[in-house]
Amino acid sequence: MASLRFLTVRDLYEAFPIAQDDVGATPSDEPSLDFLRSLVAKEAWGPAVSFCAYLLPRREAVWWGCQSLRQIQPQRAPKDTRSLDMAEDWVREPEEDRRITALNFGQQGDHRSPATWMVLAAGWSGGSVAPGFANAPSPPYQTARAIRAGLMIAMAGVPNRSMSTILKPCLEEGIALATTARA
């Protein structure tokens, strides 16, 4: 079994200081998975989604974000389905040309669409964000923030009474990925 990427909440925050604001919890030595499970048990969906997006390595995070979005929004416009497909193509084969294709498609997308944020998450996963012009690397937290943004936008359309039914399985899948992912 692979080792967990961040053993504690503090470890995650030390790697991504910006995550503390996104999650909204203070640093602690609580084990990461226990913390995430407690957020799920409390139905603290926003903090749980945020923490999970940072906890997972980039490829797994993009996969998780896309799969979660497919659960949250089963009905999508064709362009949104194409965005998700491009992001998932990069996950399956994380080649630079696929990342650049995702980046370009996302930059032209509707930023009100959660799927645009998923394809941008893939595009911001490494390399230059200005290919062909300069070496402008994406900040290391940008993939997680894009996934978080997309899922938060999608969650805004979920009735409160349905949140647990939809989000709990998504977060359980994120926990499963975190325990098997390689950092």
Classified as helix, coil or strand, 114 is helix
Classified as helix, coil or strand, 8 is strand
Q: What is the pLDDT of residues 140-161, one digit of tens each?
A: 999 999 999 999 999 999 999 9
**Residue partners of 38: CB distance under 8 A and separation at least 6:** 30
pTM score = 0.95
- Which region, left, alpha or beta, applies to residue 3 given φ > 0 means left and ψ of -120 to 50 means alpha? beta
Q: What is the pLDDT of residues 26-82, one digit of tens each?
A: 999 999 999 999 999 999 999 999 999 999 999 999 999 999 999 999 999 999 999
DSSP 109: S
121 token code pair = 């998450």
